[in-house]
Amino acid sequence: MTRLVIIGGSDAGISAAIRARELAPEKDVVVLAADRFPNYSICGLPFYLSGEVSDWKTLAHRKTRELERLGIGLRLDHKATRIDPATKSVTATTAGGRLRTFRYDRLIVATGAVPARPSIQGLSLPGVFFLRSMVDGFVLHHDLTTREPQSAVIMGSGYIGMEMADALTRRGLSVTVVARSSVLKTLDSSLGRLVRDELTRNKVKVVEGSPVTAIEKGRRGRLSVRMFAGDPIRADLILVATGSQPESALAARAGVTTGIQGAIRVSRTMGTNLPDAYAAGDCVETWHRLLGKNVYLPLGTTAHKQGRVAGENAAGGEAKFSGSLGTQVVKVFDLVAARTGLLDWEASEAGFSPRTAELESWDHKVYYPGATPLRVRLTADRTTRVLLGAQILGHYSAEVSKRADVIATAISSQMTVDDLVKLDLSYTPPTGAPWDPIQTCAQEWLDSAD
């Protein structure tokens, strides 16, 4: 019996295991998971910590027994420490410190990512937390429920920073967000300012343009956050949410080629430079559909898709990863912000000739109760009119993410702005208008082109 060994029990690893078992049920599939929580939604942790999700067990995409019924051999609390390509083996350390060796015919590395640690003092002080794993979530939850901190500083204003500003405010903490530059840099500044306004409306203090230089012990168990400019901020709890970096050291020591930000370099089939070795998820580079090259763009949706491709090919298939557009969405209090494709400046850097139209409209017919403003930014190439990207911001009830998905689909199909206007989209007064706001913005783009 041939054996597939998968290192990593999160999105990419489990997706790979399931796909391999679907196509080759005779294959022995073993997953080495570094903790006891395979296939859990790390993206759901902010909502568990806020109290909106009361039971952490519901964050499991699939329960352990479900995975085992599929014929997947889970080896929990097995941290892979060495890959030997010459003998086709992986060495793992168990929770009890025992070394175990697993032979493989095919290997998939799906080790994910770890929190980026800024080069400052004080990151190991009590009261300083990161959030990248279920264990991280449990540690932070224990602190919130036992020590009951009253104030928090969040270092970083990306997606995790925004969601945790919401979560900790819901728990009654006084929250300050410290951003190296501005809030939510994944959006253009006109929309980022609206996100900052939403934070302010919910009593979150925002400090922009002043990176943290050190974390120090303060009085009475409190912490002091020193910044490049301005007075120190004192808080009971500090969350470091300054991004992530690929967990690729294990693969690199085995001779796997790495590239952008140290991520594992893979082909469109998710193959590495080592024979019979694949990689997928947040530890690898990602093919970008518009840029036509690899980037580092760690997203849960991408990890699932890459894992499925790796699993199929490890089972003897010939699948190819179709690529990412960086489609993503975040909820910040009552506001939802989504984007797909390229921002204007990114398109320019990539050699396109972009133009962007921005429009504010209502999410549905204003005469029907509950209509809310919806802000749309649409980017397309001046010459070809081919769609390049979009950003949408509005109330969480306004179907922001699904409208972004429509544009992501249009970009994937290489549609033009004219094509978007012609789409036959649904309409009823409680949910939309005869011309959907994304089509109205497309018309605005076309009018400005004349």
pLDDT tens per residue, range 332-358: 999 999 999 999 999 999 999 999 999
| Mean pLDDT of all residues in 85-96 | 96
In this prediction, residue 450 carries a pLDDT of 63
If one counts every other C-beta atom within 10 angstroms of the C-beta of residue 261, the result is: 16
What is the value of pTM for the model shown?
0.94
Q: Look at the alpha carbons of 141, 147, 148, 153 in this order and tell me if their dihedral is positive or negative.
A: negative
pLDDT value at position 173? 98
d(CA 390, CA 328): 11
Calculate the alpha carbon distances from 366 to 397, 403, 420 in Å: 14, 18, 23
- Asked if the model's pLDDT at residue 1 lies above 70, the reply is no
3-state helix/strand/coil string of the chain: CCEEEEECCCHHHHHHHHHHHHHCCCCEEEEECCCCCCCECHHHHHHHHHCCCCCHHHHECCCHHHHHHCCEEEECCEEEEEEECCCCEEEEEECCCCEEEEECCEEEECCCEEECCCCCECCCCCCEECCCCHHHHHHHHHHHHHCCCCEEEEECCCHHHHHHHHHHHHCCCEEEEEECCCCCCCCCHHHHHHHHHHHHHCCCEEEECCCEEEEEECHHHCEEEEECCCCCEEECEEEECCCEEECCHHHHHCCCCECHHHCECCCCCCECCCCCEEECCCCECEEECCCCEEECCCCHHHHHHHHHHHHHHHCCCCCCCCCECCCEEEEECCEEEEEEECCHHHHHHCCCCEEEEEEEEECCCCCCCCCCEEEEEEEEECCCCEEEEEEEEEECCCCHHHHHHHHHHHHHCCCEHHHHHHCCCCCCCCCCCCCCHHHHHHHHHHHHHC
Same fold, 3-34+59-113+245-314 and 128-242: yes
Provide the β-strand partners of residue 151. Answer: 174
CATH architecture label of 334-449 = 2-Layer Sandwich (3.30)
pLDDT band at 268 (very low <50, low <70, confident <90, very high): very high
Q: Which of 287, 284, 358, 355 is nearest to 325 (CA)?
A: 287
Per-residue pLDDT band for 137 (boundaries 50, 70, 90) equals: very high
Cα(319)–Cα(112) distance, rounded to whole angstroms?
21
Q: Is the Cβ–Cβ distance between 277 and 84 less than 8 Å?
A: no
pLDDT reported for residue 140: 98
Looking at CATH, the fold of the domain delimited by 3-34+59-113+245-314 is given as FAD/NAD(P)-binding domain (3.50.50)
Residue in 143, 78, 141 with CA at minimum distance from that of residue 111: 78
Q: What are the structural domain ranges in the chain?
A: 3-34+59-113+245-314, 128-242, 334-449
pLDDT band at 93 (very low <50, low <70, confident <90, very high): very high
* Percent over 70 (pLDDT), the chain: 100
In the predicted structure, residue 228 carries a pLDDT above the cut 90: no
> What is the pLDDT at residue 448?
86
What topology is assigned to 128-242 in CATH? FAD/NAD(P)-binding domain (3.50.50)
Nearest to 328 by CA among 317, 315, 314, 343: 343
At residue 299, the pLDDT reads 95
pLDDT band at 161 (very low <50, low <70, confident <90, very high): very high
pLDDT in tens, 406-427: 999 999 999 999 999 999 999 9
Query: Which residues participate in catalysis according to the annotation?
Result: 43
